[in-house]
Amino acid sequence: MHNAQLKKILIITCCLLVGVGVVFIRWYIKSNIESHSVYYVRNISHDRDAHPEFAMLLDNIDSMEQPEKKKVRYRPESGPEGALSGRVYISNEAHSSNDKIPSIYMGPDYDESAYVYIDNRGIRYEFDKSFKLRRASDYDTHDDIDIHTIDQKALCDEIYKDFGFLIKANDKKPMINLQWLFNKKYYKRFN
């Protein structure tokens, strides 16, 4: 009888240890991919016009380093149109002009524009989930701007000027590199 109880306790202990191990591994993988997503996305092939590092940064901002920088504000759940529940809104007052503050935030779920950048001239740029430009408009007049007339390289340089410090702060190689798993999960999104 004593050996039977010992076997039961041993089996239960082993099952609990395996369960805890599986939960820990799943948590670690999720945490690793989220907190190093900028590094991983910079090492994945993507379409020429896509800038996925900003997509990953905004998607995982809670897991990212948010460096203290003068005149930069991180405001969760807010934006120019009011409360955007569960979203992030980042503004950089250091590059403002004529009361226009460069801002970047996640767009509404009901629209195909996943991310929005507003420059210091008041132009609103909308991007899809791979951070490809989809629309542009004047923020004040709501007049559409033909995206074919926009120099996308200059736009990208401007976004990096305003918010590139976030990419630099979060482009760190992980101790355990899960690039293959990241590629498996995100390859279709960025290609």
pTM (2 d.p.): 0.81
Residue type, 5: Q
Distance CA 33, CA 100 (A): 35
Q: Which residue has the higher pLDDT, 61 or 31?
A: 31
Given strand 103-106, what is the order of strands in its sheet?
72-76, 88-92, 103-106, 115-118, 123-127, 133-138
Once rounded to an integer, what is the mean pLDDT over residues 61-73? 86
Once rounded to an integer, what is the mean pLDDT over residues 76-96? 65
- Give the pLDDT band (50/70/90) at residue 180: very high
**Is residue 31 over pLDDT 90?**
yes
Distance CA 59, CA 64 (A): 10
- Give the pLDDT band (50/70/90) at residue 82: very low
Q: Which has the minimum average pLDDT: 18-22, 52-56, 84-88, 133-137?
A: 84-88
Q: Which residue has the higher pLDDT, 11 or 86?
A: 11
**CB-based contact 191:47 (threshold 8 Å):** yes
